[in-house]
Amino acid sequence: MVHEAQGQMVQEVAAGGLPAPPSRYVLREEHRPTTTTGGTAAPELLAFPTVDVKRLGEPGDVEETGKLRAALESWGLFKVTGHGMPTALLDGIRDAGMEFFHLPPEEKLRHANLTEDGEFQPEGYGIDRVDTDEQVLDWCDRLYLTVQPESARRTQFWPAALAPLLHEYAQGSERVARCVLRGMARALGLGDQFFLDLVGERGGADARFTYYPPCPRPDLVYGLKPHTDNSVVTVLLLDRDVGGLQVLLGGERWVDVPVLGSDELLVVVGEEMEIMSNAAFRAPTHRVVASGRERMSLVLFYQPEPHRDLEPAEELVGGDRPARYRTLKAKAFADGFWDAFALGERTIDFLNIKVGRQQQQELQEAAGVSVPCDHVRGVVN
């Protein structure tokens, strides 16, 4: 049976004008974000990694591939320019997304993420899955839609005003994801098609519009809890004006992702790439802090075909570099994500798929034996 908190949208709670968020959203003291506007900032912002995908699309551009590699080895995410999508499209979909969340509740509920029997299912409008009374809820509502393959779209969940824009945006976003996947293969000395072939022609893409209502006490809540993405790569369109996204660097420091230019995108490495690349590329942990202003983001998660084996690619395993993860089906991983996310865990850890030295290292760490931290190191060995 669905949890009773499942039907309570954060936007409605926020509209109630309470002086502080209800206890369901309040973090234990040790989990609270240290500041409301972000973590450590200035020096990193100057060096925030940027990749021009137009240049990356030219296989001879060694310099741009080098920039991509450096971005992946340090932050695990980067700002994207040169994607060719018109600013009017990006602004149009931002506005349409915000307008959706501003519709009256009964309109939005026509796309609700609960079945007729009242069961939760990922697609549609609502909040993320609530499993227990103890789960601290994020200060956000979301609209989650499968966009690829096109035959898998369930248009009853698609608000009519959003549909044509999302269709067009998804095409541009996919071009970015494909170009980045080609660049990532090249950065590892592999053929351009390498990761695209592993993902398959009918790889999936899910869109997540997330609405963060104004929060009376942003210091007490998470907009979106710390997590890694269920994707090979994720393409993000951030709010034009309001920041809040932070990334964990070095396993210990939360750093602000700056408010980007209105025609810039962000790409983040997901856990499925971490597995496929045998940890050459790591999925960064990120979170969103709330603020006194409303905010919206649109994120597209790219995933392999569900029947594919998800495992370290043979070409990236061998000799002094054993496989770090065991094989499972892409679908099993994607299903595990929802259980892991509700608990605030990485899917890789939740499904216990690490093997070999990495697992040994972590067991040693747990036992208090000191080992070097390689959290943000990209290409290992």
Ligand X SMILES: O=C(O)CCC(=O)C(=O)O
Residues, the chain: 381
Q: Which of residues 229 and 294 has its CB atom nearest to Fe ion in the complex?
A: 229
**Torsion 335-337-342-346 (CA) sign:** positive
Residue 147 binds what, of Fe ion, ligand X, none (CB under 5 to 8 Å, by partner type)?
none
Supply 274's token pair.
């971490």
CB of 307 to ligand X, least distance (A): 24
Beta strand 295-303 pairing with 77-81: unpaired
CB closer to Fe ion, 229 vs 311: 229
Residue type, 279: A
Residue whose C-beta lies closest to Fe ion: 229
Binding partner selected for residue 210 from Fe ion, ligand X, none, CB under the kind-specific 5 to 8 Å limit: ligand X
> What is the contact surface with ligand X in residues (CB under 6 A)?
208, 210, 224, 229, 236, 238, 245, 286, 288, 297, 299
Q: Tell me how far, at minimum, the Cβ of 142 lies from ligand X, in Å.
A: 8
Give the residue with the Cβ less far from ligand X, 113 or 210: 210
Q: Could you say which of Fe ion, ligand X, none residue 245 binds, taking C-beta under 5 to 8 angstroms by partner kind? A: ligand X
Q: Which two tokens stand for residue 287?
A: 């979170």
Considering beta carbons, is residue 229 or 274 the nearer one to ligand X? 229
Distance CA 301, CA 281 (A): 16
Q: Which does 80 bind (CB under 5 to 8 A by kind): ligand X, Fe ion, none?
A: none
Q: Which does 128 bind (CB under 5 to 8 A by kind): Fe ion, ligand X, none?
A: none
Query: Cα–chain-centroid distance for residue 241?
Result: 20
Residue 286: strand, helix, or coil: strand
Helix/strand/coil for 209: strand
- The phi and psi torsions of 192 (rounded to 5 degrees) equal -50, -40
Asked if 291 and 220 count as a contact pair (C-beta separation under 8 A), the reply is no
Please report how close the Cβ of residue 27 comes to ligand X at its closest, in angstroms: 17
Q: Tell me if residue 96 falls in helix, strand or coil.
A: helix
Query: Residues 217-242, buried b or exposed e (16+ Cβ, 10 A)?
Result: bbebbbbbbbbbbbbbbbbbbbbbeb
Residue with smaller CB distance to ligand X, 278 or 297:
297
The CB-of-147 to Fe ion minimum distance in angstroms stands at: 17
Angle between helices 62-74 and 163-187 (to 10 degrees): 100
The item of ligand X, Fe ion, none sharing an interface with residue 297, based on CB under 5 to 8 Å by kind, is ligand X
Nearest distance in Å: CB 89, ligand X: 19
E strand residue ranges, 1-140: 50-52, 77-81, 124-126
**C-beta separation of 293 from 275 below 8 A:** no
**What is the closest distance, in whole angstroms, from the C-beta atom of residue 350 to ligand X in the complex?**
16
Q: Which is nearer to ligand X, 25 or 194 (CB)?
A: 25
Contact residues: Fe ion, CB under 5 A? 229
CB of 342 to ligand X, least distance (A): 14
Residue among 121 and 359 whose Cβ is closer to ligand X: 121
